[in-house]
Amino acid sequence: MISNKMSQLLERSAAMSNMYTEGARMKALYGVENVYDYGLGNPNLPAPDIVRETSIRILNETDPWYLHHYMPNNGFIEAREKIAASLNRRFGENYNIDNIIFCTGAAGGINCVLKVLMDPGQEVLTFAPYFGEYDRYADNVGCTLVAVPANIPTFQPDAAEMAKYITDKTRAVLLNNPHNPTGVVYSAETIKAICDVLAEKEKEFGHAIYLISDEPYRELVYDSVTVPWIPDFYKNTIVAYSFSKSLSLPGDRVGYLAFGNDVEDFDNIVYGVAVAARIMGFINAPSLQQLVVAECCEETVDISFYDRNRERLYAALTEYGYEIAKPQGAFYMFVKTPVDDKIFAQKAKEYRLIVTPGSGFGCAGYVRLSYCVNYSTVEGSLPAFKALMEYFKENK
């Protein structure tokens, strides 16, 4: 018999699981090419060739004992050196191996950080809409996720509004940029305003409030937009990076955490995260992947494929009457629904469209489209989106 707590978690995850099952059922019934599946943020582009070539070379050249044995929980020293050097070059940091910890994707990294920072009963703050797993990450450490309501229609968080939600129990803020599910990139002005409020609140409450910057989409940006480097704005920032999206390696479970030298209680936090990885069972990030991504950390998939999908979808959907804040990053679009988002997503299936209700991201009235799909899916789906909007116009 499973625990009551897990039963509740399963119930909350049911909507997502049902969506996968329904997608598979529809594809079996109508054929894969006739179902327009925008449900999952699973990159459709393969990892760049250089990743495979580097993997093979490292496998061939590295002593197998060294490659496959337990290592320091923080990761291989030479791999952390390469990541630190890249961040120093790109963002003017002064990092060395002590500032970098390899983790099992951003998810593993964030969970380890929360384990170290949070006592049960405390609060993790975030901004709606938010990555649906954040609730569970906070719950894993006996804490509550507090979401600042969405700032519609721009989805740029409002720092003054955020200030109202910070209490003495707020110990960490989870901020995701570029953003899932909206594709919005928070501007430098937005980040500065948030960081200024956090610095004031740290003074007011007399303790650190750590900003965990969840950045799996850092490299996936369009229109030459710049993603602010948050440690420039706030000393108590911990960056959680992942290669799941930039290199299309979500199954490889590899990313890193970066801690600035001025992070309050640096030594205890860094040591704590290594211990958290061990006691939570991650131990260390996959060894081969650490060495591979360290060499490929400035490579990306061909972003122009996602950009083509973005432009085509945005132009067509807005022409049909959908309202969307034009995404500038990641591979998501957050579309306002003419009716309740769950009703919309349900009806969409009749048009062989799979979309995710915004209520799963703490923001009802929208659906998320993950456009990491083939261009043929985008083209094929447009008449369906058009007909769906016409249906709702005729059936108000």
Ligand X SMILES: Cc1ncc(COP(=O)(O)O)c(C=O)c1O
Site for ligand X, rule CB under 6 A: 41, 105-107, 131, 176, 180, 214, 216, 242, 244, 250, 255
Q: Do 354 and 37 meet the contact criterion of CB atoms below 8 Å apart?
A: yes
Which CB atom, from 39 or from 105, has the smaller least distance to ligand X? 105
Q: Do 354 and 26 meet the contact criterion of CB atoms below 8 Å apart?
A: yes
- DSSP 8-state code for residue 102: E
Name the residue with the smallest CB distance to ligand X: 105
Q: How far is the CB of 34 from ligand X (least distance, A)?
A: 26
Q: How far is the CB of 33 from ligand X (least distance, A)?
A: 25
Q: How far is the CB of 382 from ligand X (least distance, A)?
A: 25
CB under 8 Å to 259, separation ≥6 — which residues? 99, 100, 101, 238, 266, 269, 270
Which CB atom, from 236 or from 244, has the smaller least distance to ligand X? 244
d(CA 133, CA 216): 14
Which CB atom, from 190 or from 242, has the smaller least distance to ligand X? 242
Token couple for 26: 């529809």
Which CB atom, from 107 or from 211, has the smaller least distance to ligand X? 107
- DSSP 8-state code for residue 327: P
Q: Do 118 and 172 meet the contact criterion of CB atoms below 8 Å apart?
A: yes
Q: How far is the CB of 216 from ligand X (least distance, A)?
A: 5
Which residue matches tokens 């179902």? 35
Q: How far is the CB of 109 from ligand X (least distance, A)?
A: 8
Which CB atom, from 239 or from 388, has the smaller least distance to ligand X? 239
- Pick from 314, 315, 349, 318: which is nearest to 333 by CA? 314
Which CB atom, from 216 or from 327, has the smaller least distance to ligand X? 216
**Cis-peptide into 181, omega within 30 deg:** yes
| Total Cβ atoms within 10 A of residue 45 | 17
Q: How far is the CB of 242 from ligand X (least distance, A)?
A: 3
